[in-house]
Every structure is written in C-alpha cells, then in structure tokens.
C-alpha cells in the first residue's frame, strides 16, 4: 500500500470521529452523513483553524444540506446526456468520462453529491466507453472526472490513458482532480512521469481558498508542471468561503505562483443539498471587478453559469442579455435564449 493510500484510509468519516477532534455535537450531523457521506483526509483536516472557517465549511456536513428540498439532484441533466452510463456527451466534440466514484474529501458543495461516495454511483465501464468514443470521430477531447480520477491506481490510470491514446481522433485528454488540494501526497514523481507519457494532457485542479495553498500542495503542483502538464484551476463561488473580493484576489495570485492558471469561477450549480452555498450573481460580478485591472489578466478567471438542462456554460459578463426581476435571460453557445433564476 502506498503512502497516499494509507493516508486515505486514515480519513475521518463519521460525526463521532469529528466530535472527538473538535468541540462539536455529532448528533445533528449524523442524519446528513447518512444521506451524503463524509470523508476528510488527515492533511485537509489539518488545514482547519476553527469550526466554521472556510476549510470547515467545504468539508464538514451541515444540517442545511437536508433542508434544501427545492433544487434538483441532477440539474445539468448528466444522466440524460449519458449514451453510456457514466459517459456524458453534452457538447459536440467532447465528453466527460466518470472514471471514479470517490474523492479524497467529499466536498459539501459537490455538483454530483447525489452519487459521489454513495452506493450505486455510476462509473463508465472502460470497454463500453472506449467503444463509444472510437465510434464517434467527432469527439476530440475527453475529460476524466468523477469522483476523482487520480484516486485510481497508477496501473489502472495507465491502462485507461493508453486505451484513449489508441483512438486516433482523440486529440486531448483532460483530468479534473482535487487531490493537489486535499491529498497532495497522491501526486508522486511516478504519477507525474506516467502522465507525461500521454501528452497532450491537461490537469484542472480545484482550489477555492488561499488557505488551501501550502508547501505540500505547491509541491504537488510543481511535480505536474515540471512534467510539462499545463495546469488550470476551477473555483466555485461559495458563500462564507470565498465570496470576498480580497480573498479571491489572494487565491488567484497565489495560484499563478504555483504555475496554475485561473480558468473558471463557477456560479454555484442548482444542486440539491447545496443551496446554503449560493450567492447572487452580483457577488460574482463584484469579485471579477476587484480582479480586472487591479491585477494581471492572467489572474482573472471566466465567471460562468452551467445552465440547467444540460444547455452548457455561459460567461456571465459576455452572455447576459437582460434581467427581469430575479430572472436572468442568457444566450447559450448554440444561440438559444433561456431564463436562469438568480438568488434574490
């Protein structure tokens, strides 16, 4: 067993364990964990300075998760857009491959919290997924997602990537991972060397707060960057975590020091169990205004909404047409005009 696997096995997974480490009542959390699992690695747990801080809110269950009854478990219609279970074909030339059903830390704001870490989470079967990809020459870009693909063993990951590289029309492979943030010991020299063999390959990671950038997470990013892997970051705008222009500015500037390019700032998806994290769009615009012109354009991500119904992403500043009360009228990349419900 590798060091990162041992660390993963030592994760906190129950409210009782958490209560033994912090002065909190385990009882209100038990029902939440029964529906949406908890896992916090020893490393990420060590970043918590006090209950309720930005790290705590991202990883510790909140009874508010069970009070959110109005939103959809699958607002992006991923299951409908899966020609093979676990393979999401939303855009014409690219697909998302759910390669893993688990994460090092179960983020409380997860867009797939309906399934990640839960029994029955659908991972794309490799044989069927590769057959589908080989049979659709219009697909040029595959995003490995999950769960977290880097929780696969090196051998399993190598087999999957080799299968993709045997399909001539697949030009780009992207990996979406949060392990540099939550389990940095998973990024080893061996893993970096393995990934280097499958260029062009891109890694998008997921830092949400400057306190997540440490010597250990920096080393993980450096191993990947030194292997020639372009690194991007996708943050989610989270109430009580990073919905502060100065916090976001510190995060973006620190990312550039790690050779990680800020890519997306996501408006919180309309996912059941996450409403307490949502902010108004005006807050995201405020954050962007604090970045643009006040720092390098390299530090300014695209602020995007992932539209319900699988309609794709729209950039808030570029795509908003007009506002009608709390409704925002937007235009998709296909030219469709849709309404999006903002937070009042």
Q: Which residue from 64, 73, 77, 74 is spatially nearest to 31, judged by alpha carbons? A: 64
The residue segments making up the domain with residue 207 are 70-317
Report the distance separating Cα 215 and Cα 210, nearest Å. 12
Given this model, what pLDDT does residue 239 score?
Answer: 97
- Render pLDDT for 239-287 as a digit per residue (tens, 0 to 9): 999 999 999 999 999 999 999 999 999 999 999 999 999 999 989 999 9
How many domains is the chain partitioned into structurally?
A: 1
Question: Is 280 inside any structural domain?
Answer: yes
Question: Is 198 inside any structural domain?
Answer: yes
Reply yes or no on whether 91 is catalytic.
Answer: yes
Reply yes or no on whether 62 is catalytic.
Answer: no
pLDDT for residue 86 is more than 70: yes
Reply yes or no on whether 107 is catalytic.
Answer: yes
Q: Of 57, 62, 269, 278, which is the active-site residue?
A: 269
For the chain, where are the alpha helices, taking DSSP H only?
3-9, 15-21, 27-35, 42-45, 54-59, 64-67, 126-134, 154-165, 179-182, 189-196, 215-226, 245-257, 281-291, 316-319
Question: Is 61 inside any structural domain?
Answer: no
Q: Of 39, 43, 57, 103, which is the active-site residue?
A: 103
Looking at the DSSP assignment, which residues form a beta bridge with residue 145?
98
Question: Is 2 inside any structural domain?
Answer: no
Q: Which residue from 3, 48, 1, 57 is spatially nearest to 22, judged by alpha carbons? A: 48
CATH assignment at residue 295 = 3.20.20.70
* Residue 208 near residue 179 (C-beta atoms within 8 A): no
- Render pLDDT for 258-271 as a digit per residue (tens, 0 to 9): 999 999 999 999 99
Categorize the per-residue pLDDT at 101 as very low, low, confident or very high, splitting at 50, 70 and 90.
Answer: very high
Looking at the DSSP assignment, which residues form a beta bridge with residue 97?
87, 144
Question: Is 307 inside any structural domain?
Answer: yes
pTM: 0.92
Question: Is 332 inside any structural domain?
Answer: no
Reply yes or no on whether 103 is catalytic.
Answer: yes
At 254, list the tokens: 């620190």
Q: Give the strands of the sheet with 320-324, arranged side by side.
A: 320-324, 327-331, 337-341
Rounded-to-10 torsion of CA 304, 308, 312, 318: -40
């Amino acid at each position: 067993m590798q060091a990162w696997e041992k660390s993963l096995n030592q994760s906190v997974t129950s409210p009782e364990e958490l209560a033994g480490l912090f002065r909190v009542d385990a009882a209100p959390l038990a029902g939440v964990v029964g529906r949406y699992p908890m896992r916090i690695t020893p490393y990420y747990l060590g970043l918590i300075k006090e209950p309720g801080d930005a790290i705590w809110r991202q990883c510790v269950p909140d009874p508010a998760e069970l009070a959110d009854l109005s939103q959809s478990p699958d607002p992006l219609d991923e299951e409908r857009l899966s020609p093979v279970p676990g393979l999401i074909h939303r855009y014409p030339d690219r697909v998302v491959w759910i390669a893993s059903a688990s994460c090092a830390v179960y983020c409380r704001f997860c867009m797939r919290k309906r399934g990640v870490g839960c029994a029955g989470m659908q991972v794309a079967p490799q044989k069927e997924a590769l057959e589908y990809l080989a049979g659709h020459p219009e697909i040029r870009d595959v995003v490995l997602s999950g769960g977290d693909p880097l929780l696969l063993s090196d051998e399993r990951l190598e087999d999957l990537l080799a299968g993709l590289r045997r399909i001539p029309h697949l030009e780009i492979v992207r990996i979406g991972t949060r392990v540099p943030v939550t389990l940095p010991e998973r990024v080893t020299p061996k893993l970096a060397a393995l990934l280097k063999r499958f260029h062009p390959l891109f890694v998008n990671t997921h830092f949400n707060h400057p306190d997540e950038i440490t010597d250990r997470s920096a080393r993980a990013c450096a191993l990947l960057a030194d292997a020639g892997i372009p690194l991007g970051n996708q943050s989610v705008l989270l109430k009580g975590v990073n919905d502060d222009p100065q916090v976001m500015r510190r995060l973006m500037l620190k990312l550039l020091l790690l050779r990680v390019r800020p890519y997306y700032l996501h408006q919180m998806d309309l996912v059941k169990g996450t409403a307490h994290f949502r902010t108004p769009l005006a807050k995201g615009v405020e954050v962007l205004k604090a970045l643009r012109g006040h720092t390098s354009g390299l530090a300014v991500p695209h602020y995007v909404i992932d539209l319900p119904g699988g309609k794709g992403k729209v950039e808030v500043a570029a795509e908003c047409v007009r506002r009608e009360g709390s409704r925002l009228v937007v235009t998709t990349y296909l030219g469709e005009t849709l309404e999006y419900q903002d937070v009042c």
